[in-house]
Structure 1
């Protein structure tokens, strides 16, 4: 049964501290980027809107699909590798106002990043903010609890979850004309819809996320897993409730499947045509074998050994956070989602420098940290997150002013 949620103004007031904190962190990151770029005779706005993937999205918005670049080594970089929702939105915004396609992409990312922050708060607050003991309940316990029990936490876990997402070292990507913010917004609200029993909404949002990035498969798996587990538990539920879950199962994969099948038809290579397109970018999935070789290879010389060691520690930290989420009995839908996002990011066979960005949507991994910060003294938590925010802003500015794509 779908539980009633609080009225929208009340929900927004509860999320306001998280959104204001998020805006402050992102403003700091952008200000540092502007100053750093100016010191290196570069345009911060160009770095955010007209380089790397942002150029591909703007190009699709302007002329549609069909552009490709043939490299001297024979590789073919086709714009079919990029999913269509972001360029569609860029085209719509550019058509109704004075914005360029690049400007429109920047606006979409700014709005989507706030929507993502709100969605992350909603998920974290729903899972942790109504817990008297502060420990994550299982999926079954979560669904059985009456709505809306609240504890003394007052949304603190949700606020810290949003701030942690904002201060990630690659957080500057949230302000770029990339699709990460848009996807994370759709993902967070999909997960929230599942947690609150809004199955049709979850299916629609998951389908839209599937039109945004290939990792939309993680949401399909999450919606399917949660829905299938819920059927035997809610055997006595009204037939209409079961019908909504079935509809969610049907809707969730439509975005991903539709685009992949369209690419296969356009290329004449059938259902696997999208994999051929990715192969042209030397991208694929090998379970992490190539990434492991890359990391271990860094250990063979100095100073690259420090980078290799950092990679190994980073991967161990990500896997450790997932294990903590399992021990804290996060809801099944979150575990499936973050598990698949992590597997796809770490198992990709190329673009090793982009892996932190590919993990950006896996925000449930941050919930154990958010819970720890909420339990700590507010001043101490604020000092820790504030220091990380400064370091993240400096790192993001340096990163974008480098030679390679994020």
Structure 2
């Protein structure tokens, strides 16, 4: 791992986050003058996946055979546990035409809770190659993770520099739940689309961002924070209208990107409703994973905080947590991230606060918060914070070691299923 370099000066909040003119495919993707940066980054990401693969292989030897793994546990069957079984079911048989209900008429857990892009892409590749879901699902995730890492590097490099970007990507790829980037889950594919979307916004590639937003609407329910980032990108473009006049075609394309985020938010619930004949098919299905069978904003976070810290101190610690996240994203130590990535780092946790039932799956839901890795290491601030940046290398190695240990804990305690019931990852 090369030493982390001190970021360059000269990045401001108002400056539009566009680094090369999108006049060619290379310009849009940010592939001009990359030299050996991208190969080094992908090699570092591959090393992270090897470490995770070794952890998975070792812990797989401790997994007792279940209905998920079959009579013999292997590395590949171990990668399709928990939600992976739902994705396998969808890949093989699609979605039910009617919502399953019990004798009392209550909706039961079913496949409509899971977004279709990953399992249907897996099914297409299964038909093409003749391979089973265990091979194809984990491979799709593995390849998508490389795409996400590359796009993340192209997004962060103009802001942080080569070495600091490499450090942030490695730290992200080593998070405790980063193992899901190579198993039969949708996280890697969603991260690939998310990072490409953010990269397209930073390059003013509005129509590309529109298409990616629509694809995200079939991969992960994160349209609301995407819309917030898109609004900031449009505001930045509007701010520069005197120096760079906005043509009508660009204005319409920018509005299309914002509309794409709106459509993304309702696309899958609408498909579920039309397919089952029940307008609330998606929300009714999602509620079956809640203990109260209701989706109530904020309440699960309050209940969980009170459960762990008491009726008085629980809400205090909860507010403290989100204030800390806001400080991380808004403080001078995040100045180099720019307005768009700062907005994402605020809007996404706020979205989780509204819609998520916080439990053991929270570790997976933290994976999209990759920009805050630059803040944790200390490479995201203005050069006047040089004292903070001098310790970036130490913080990187300490966090990397802690994250790898956390991966072992996550795989052994959460991913490994201990019958008859266990906490989900």
TM superposition score normalised by structure 2: 0.77
2:366 is aligned with 1:352: no
* 2:262 is equivalent to residue 244 of structure 1: no
- Superposed, which structure 2 residues align to 1:7-406 within 5 Å? 8=31, 10-11=33-34, 13-41=36-64, 43=73, 45=75, 48-66=78-96, 74=106, 76-129=108-161, 155-231=162-238, 233-234=240-241, 236-270=245-279, 272-282=280-290, 285-299=295-309, 316=320, 319-327=323-331, 328-329=334-335, 330-348=337-355, 350=357, 352-372=359-379, 375-376=389-390, 380=394, 383-398=397-412, 399-402=414-417, 403-406=422-425
Structure 1 CA distance for aligned equivalents of residues 356 and 21 of structure 2? 43
Cα separation, 1, equivalents of 2:57 and 2:319: 31
| Root-mean-square deviation over aligned CA pairs | 3.2
Change (3 A) 1:9 1:55: farther
What is the SS of the residue equivalent to 1:249? Answer: helix
Alignment partners' CA distance in 2, 1:262 and 1:61: 17
CA distance in 1, matches of 2:238, 2:360: 41
Partners of 2:302 and 2:318 within 8 A in 1: no
Number of aligned residue pairs = 373
| Cα distance between partner residues in 2 of 1:33 and 1:385 | 20
Distance across 2 between alignment mates of 1:39 and 1:52: 16
Counterpart-to-counterpart distance in 2, 1:98 and 1:108: 15
SS of equivalent to 2:258 = helix
TM-score normalized with structure 1 length = 0.80
**CA separation of 1:376 and 1:99: change in aligned 2, threshold 3 A:** farther
Against the structure 1 CA distance between its residues 285 and 184, is the aligned structure 2 distance closer, same or farther, given a 3 Å change threshold?
Answer: farther
C-alpha deviations, 1:290-330, integer Å up to 9, x for none? 22222321346xxxxxxx99x99798556524422212344
5+ long unaligned stretches in structure 2: 1-17, 66-72, 382-388
- Secondary structure of 2:371's aligned partner: helix
- The verdict on how the C-alpha distance between 1:48 and 1:206 changes in structure 2, with shifts beyond 3 A counting, is farther
Q: Distance in 1 between matches of 2:263 and 2:305?
A: 36
Unaligned runs of 5+ residues in structure 1 are 130-154, 301-307
Counterparts of 2:128 and 2:406 in 1: how far apart (Å)?
35
Q: CA separation of 1:201/1:383 partners in 2, compared to 1, >3 Å: closer, same or farther? A: same
Closer, same or farther: CA 75–185 of 1 in aligned 2, 3 Å: same
Alpha-carbon shift at residue 208 of structure 1 (Å): 0.9
Partner residue, 1:146: none
Structure with greater helix share of residues: 1
